[in-house]
């Protein structure tokens, strides 16, 4: 029997840059899953987190959790909960070392929004199985402080020869996943623009990542 889709906690708190696309992202996820969307970090308690199959950090920014909330999230993940980070989730909780491992790589910089060609590094995953080998998409292409490849399963890379301003070189991961504790962590750098969340390919990418994080693969 295929398990039912998970209930999803979508967290959108920002203390730094705030993306105009947050509302569009919440609406896109609500079309695919039963969600609770909030910017209130008080939801991060062991009792409340136990209600969810996956926690999504959707364009969060800055420090958004206190120490108690961090302990609750860490325990949730250690116990098998799923985590999904979208775009600016890589620019969140910068003074929490455990989050480095959870997210996989930290945001460094980006050029202006522009089209680029993505290469599917791994089609044997629910977040990429719907894509062809290459995919042209418009987004804000993040550079990361480190290449996460040694520690994660890379799903998508962006081809720096197809846009201006990339700074990571020939190997530029843009979406990846990994086991984390007894659970799973998925991250995608896609999702800067409002228009992205109306794109069926992006919606399928996010939905596949959430279902994988919930253990549905």
Tell me the whole-structure pTM to 2 decimals.
0.97
- For residue 105, pLDDT over 50 is answered with yes
- For residue 190, pLDDT over 50 is answered with yes
Closest CA to 101 of 119, 78, 118, 79: 78
| Overall average pLDDT of the 79-108 stretch | 97
For 108-134, the pLDDT digits (tens) are 999 999 999 999 999 999 999 999 999
Check: CB of residue 206 under 8 Å from CB of residue 177: no
DSSP notation for 75-89: HHHHTT-EEEEEGGG
> What average pLDDT is seen over the chain?
96
Beta bridge partners, 26, equal none
The band of 4, judged by pLDDT with boundaries at 50, 70 and 90, is low
Report helix angle 200-213 to 22-32, nearest 10.
70
- For residue 193, pLDDT over 70 is answered with yes
- For residue 1, pLDDT over 70 is answered with no
Question: Cα(6)–Cα(53) distance, rounded to whole angstroms?
Answer: 5
Closest CA to 172 of 143, 207, 208, 193: 143
Question: Cα(44)–Cα(36) distance, rounded to whole angstroms?
Answer: 13
Q: Within its chain, how far is the Cα of 80 from the centroid? A: 17
- For residue 26, pLDDT over 90 is answered with yes
Please state, for a pLDDT cut of 70, what percent of the chain lies above it.
98
């Amino acid at each position: 029997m295929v398990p039912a889709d998970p209930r999803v906690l979508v967290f959108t708190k920002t203390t730094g840059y705030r993306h105009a696309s947050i509302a569009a992202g919440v609406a896109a996820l609500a079309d695919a899953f039963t969600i609770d969307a909030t910017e209130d970090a008080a939801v991060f308690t062991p009792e409340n987190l136990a209600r969810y199959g996956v926690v999504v950090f959707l364009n969060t920014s800055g420090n958004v959790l206190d120490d108690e909330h961090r302990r609750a999230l860490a325990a949730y993940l250690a116990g098998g909960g799923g985590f999904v980070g979208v775009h600016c989730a890589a620019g969140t909780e910068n003074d929490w070392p455990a989050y480095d491992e959870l997210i996989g790589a930290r945001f460094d910089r980006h050029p202006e929004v522009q089209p680029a060609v993505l290469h599917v590094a791994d089609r044997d995953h629910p977040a990429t199985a719907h894509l062809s080998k290459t995919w042209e998409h418009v987004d804000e292409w993040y550079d990361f402080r480190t290449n996460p490849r040694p520690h994660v399963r890379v799903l998508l890379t962006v081809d720096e020869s197809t846009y201006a301003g990339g700074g990571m070189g020939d190997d530029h991961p843009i979406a990846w996943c990994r086991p984390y504790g007894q659970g799973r962590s998925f991250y995608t750098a896609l999702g800067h623009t409002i228009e992205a969340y109306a794109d069926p390919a992006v919606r399928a990418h996010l939905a596949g990542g959430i279902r994988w994080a919930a253990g549905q693969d």
